[in-house]
């Protein structure tokens, strides 16, 4: 499918005139439309709730959009817990799915009443020793080991992943928690990332539902919810077929009716913790072409770099690029599109066919709405770009300002001469 920007060149220039380039921009109307279709796809399950994975797009304005749909937040650190809490989420609105967790983060999660998801069995005695007694409701994260495959297609290797507990440990953990007075239990697993098939959630659900029936029987506990976590992918490339959330919801429903309902577990709530699927396609990084270089290859230098979007440098991830105003121009030039970091992997595209780029053109880098701004870092002293929310009526708001040099130097406040860096 041809990838179409949600922003015209004129609108992109209007935002640039206000906040400069580069910037991350999000499409509020599309975020809401997609959130609605997620809620509808799982409406068959009375207790369904999406806990948006805050790490994908950690911004309170985005979190509040999801709050309108009754969704919660999935947090994995102190900063994310505090962001969700300050944005108006508390108690069971928050799922705390972390790993290698420091005691003070458990304590804070408990204080605000978040649902705690234990990544490992050793964290149970650690919690008792450092935090206190368990809350009434506790979730445990499962890792089946081996490989996770659908129709002979290996999707991922849980056996190599650091997350979750073995089946035996799940049983032992539930027993231990029960003996400490825990009354309600949840099961969680994340077995494959960026999946491009409607079969992922249904297959995962089938495994977890089976495990739930078994654990309920063996441990005599009440299983309240099953959290399918994240992993639903988006089409980064034009030739990929998007997932269909309605079919995914139907697939999970079929597994639910086949496995849970006959076991007398037709009240179990389904939770999801999607990040990428909720936000990925609805964000873009807009950057300006500022240099061209002709050596052994043709290079276009832009004013964004991997500090604004790390996925291409880190995973070789593909992000589609549209040259704004040249949407229908033929792709006549082959470029490497690069940022300024002193790292040769700082390239948004390699050998990419694009329309001929003129200096000053705005490049629209698609699908940066999840794990985009969020992975920003300050290597080479590069600063974070602003985040802008485009509203349905075409107006836009700044939802996070750009980082300044003063922000960058703030942690040197033990040196007087670093206190006013914007002024020197
Ligand atoms: C990253 C993460 C998610 C979100 O994953 P997506 O691939 O963005 O959907 C959900 N849950 C947990 C525990 C995660 O670590």
The gap between the terminal CA atoms of the chain, to the nearest Å, is 50
Residue 424: inside a domain = no
By most ligand atoms within 8 Å of CB, the mutation choice from 74, 156, 275, 280 for ligand 1 is 275
The torsion angle over the Cα atoms of residues 323, 328, 333 and 337, rounded to 10 degrees, is: 20
Residues 181 and 304 in one domain: no
The atom of ligand 1 lying closest to the CA of 55 is 1
The rounded Å distance from CA 93 to ligand 1 centre is 17
Beta bridge partners of 25: 284, 388
Residues 154 and 202 in one domain: yes
**Number of folded domains in the chain?**
2
Q: What is the pLDDT, as a whole number, of residue 357?
A: 98
Supply 49's token pair.
Answer: 């709730």
**Residue 240: how many CB atoms within 10 A of its CB?**
13
Structural domain ending residue among the three candidates 229, 259, 278 = 278
Q: How far is CA 50 from CA 41, 72, 84, 111, 211, in A?
A: 11, 6, 14, 22, 21
Q: Is 162:117 a contact under the CB 8 Å cutoff?
A: no
Residues 85 and 179 in one domain: yes
Residues 225 and 330 in one domain: no
Say yes or no: CB of residue 203 within 6 Å of ligand 1. Answer: no
Say yes or no: CB of residue 275 within 6 Å of ligand 1. Answer: yes
Structural domain ending residue among the three candidates 252, 278, 304 = 278
Say yes or no: CB of residue 229 within 6 Å of ligand 1. Answer: yes
Say yes or no: CB of residue 276 within 6 Å of ligand 1. Answer: yes
Of all protein residues, whose CA lies closest to atom 7 belonging to ligand 1?
A: 231
Closest-CA residue to 123 (of 165, 78, 166, 77): 165
* CATH number assigned to the domain comprising residue 365: 2.40.37.10
CA angle (336, 340, 341) in 5-degree steps = 105
The atom of ligand 1 lying closest to the CA of 194 is 7
By most ligand atoms within 8 Å of CB, the mutation choice from 51, 62, 74, 84 for ligand 1 is 74
Residue 203: inside a domain = yes
Say yes or no: CB of residue 231 within 6 Å of ligand 1. Answer: yes
Of all protein residues, whose CA lies closest to atom 13 belonging to ligand 1?
A: 97
Structural domain ending residue among the three candidates 222, 244, 278 = 278
Q: What is the pLDDT, as a whole number, of residue 155?
A: 83
Residues 126 and 177 in one domain: yes
Say yes or no: CB of residue 225 within 6 Å of ligand 1. Answer: no
Residues 144 and 212 in one domain: yes
**Mean pLDDT in each 10-residue stretch from start to end of the chain (424 residues)?**
95 98 98 98 98 98 98 98 98 97 98 98 98 98 93 86 96 98 98 95 97 97 98 97 97 98 98 98 98 98 98 96 98 98 96 98 98 96 97 98 94 88 79
For residue 110, how far is the Cα from the chain centroid? 23
Residues 262 and 341 in one domain: no
The atom of ligand 1 lying closest to the CA of 232 is 9
The rounded Å distance from CA 394 to ligand 1 centre is 30
* CATH number assigned to the domain comprising residue 112: 3.20.20.10
Say yes or no: CB of residue 230 within 6 Å of ligand 1. Answer: yes
Q: Is 94:71 a contact under the CB 8 Å cutoff?
A: no
Say yes or no: CB of residue 97 within 6 Å of ligand 1. Answer: yes
Q: How many residues does the chain have?
A: 424
Calpha distance 30→5 (Å, rounded)? 12
Say yes or no: CB of residue 396 within 6 Å of ligand 1. Answer: no
Say yes or no: CB of residue 288 within 6 Å of ligand 1. Answer: no
Residue 361: inside a domain = yes
The rounded Å distance from CA 77 to ligand 1 centre is 13
The atom of ligand 1 lying closest to the CA of 233 is 7
Residues 266 and 128 in one domain: yes
Q: What is the pLDDT, as a whole number, of residue 22?
A: 98
Say yes or no: CB of residue 77 within 6 Å of ligand 1. Answer: no
Q: What is the pLDDT, as a whole number, of residue 1?
A: 81
Residue 5: inside a domain = no
Residue 243: inside a domain = yes
Q: Which domain holds residue 92?
A: 28-278
Residue 4: inside a domain = no
Residues 38 and 178 in one domain: yes
Residues 303 and 288 in one domain: yes
Residue 1: inside a domain = no
Calpha distance 395→217 (Å, rounded)? 55
The atom of ligand 1 lying closest to the CA of 278 is 9
Residues 315 and 254 in one domain: no
Residue 422: inside a domain = no
Q: What is the pTM of this model?
A: 0.97
Residues 65 and 140 in one domain: yes
**Strand 362-365, strand 321-323: pairing:** antiparallel
């Amino acid at each position: 499918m041809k990838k179409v920007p949600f922003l015209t060149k004129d609108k992109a220039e209007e935002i640039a005139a206000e906040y400069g380039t580069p910037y991350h921009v999000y499409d509020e109307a599309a975020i809401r439309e997609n959130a609605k279709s997620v809620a509808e796809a799982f409406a068959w399950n009375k207790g369904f709730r999406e806990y948006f994975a805050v790490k994908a797009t950690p911004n309170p304005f985005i979190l509040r959009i999801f709050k309108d749909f009754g969704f919660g937040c999935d947090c994995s650190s102190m900063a994310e817990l505090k962001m969700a809490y300050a944005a108006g989420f508390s108690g069971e609105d928050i799922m705390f799915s972390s790993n290698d967790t420091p005691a003070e983060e458990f304590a804070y999660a408990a204080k605000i009443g978040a649902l705690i998801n234990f990544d490992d069995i050793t964290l149970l005695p650690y919690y008792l020793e450092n935090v206190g007694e368990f809350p009434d409701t506790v979730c445990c994260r499962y890792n089946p080991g081996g490989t996770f495959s659908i129709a002979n297609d290996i999707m991922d290797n849980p056996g190599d992943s650091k997350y979750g507990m073995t089946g035996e440990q799940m049983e032992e953990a539930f027993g231990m928690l029960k003996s400490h007075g825990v009354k309600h239990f949840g099961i969680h697993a994340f077995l494959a990332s960026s999946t491009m098939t409607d079969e992922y959630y249904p297959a995962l659900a089938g495994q977890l539902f089976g495990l739930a029936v078994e654990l309920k029987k063996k441990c005599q506990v009440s299983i309240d919810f099953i959290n399918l976590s994240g992993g639903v992918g988006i089409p980064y490339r034009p030739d990929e077929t998007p997932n269909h959330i309605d079919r995914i919801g139907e697939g999970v429903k079929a597994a639910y009716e086949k496995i849970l309902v006959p076991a007398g577990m037709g009240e179990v709530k389904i939770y999801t913790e999607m990040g990428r699927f909720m936000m990925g396609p609805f964000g873009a990084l807009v950057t300006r072409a500022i240099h061209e270089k002709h050596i052994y290859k043709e290079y276009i230098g832009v004013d964004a770099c991997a500090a604004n979007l790390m996925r291409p440098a880190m995973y070789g991830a593909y992000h589609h690029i549209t040259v704004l105003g040249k949407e229908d121009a033929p792709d006549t030039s082959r470029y490497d599109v690069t940022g300024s970091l002193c790292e040769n992997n700082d390239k948004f595209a390699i050998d990419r066919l694009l329309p001929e780029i003129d200096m000053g053109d705005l490049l629209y880098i698609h699908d940066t709405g999840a794990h985009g701004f969020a992975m920003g870092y300050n290597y080479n002293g590069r600063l974070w770009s602003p985040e802008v929310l485009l509203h349905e009526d075409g107006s836009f708001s700044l939802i996070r300002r750009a980082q300044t040099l003063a922000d960058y130097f703030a942690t040197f406040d033990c040196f007087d001469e670093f206190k006013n860096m914007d002024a020197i």
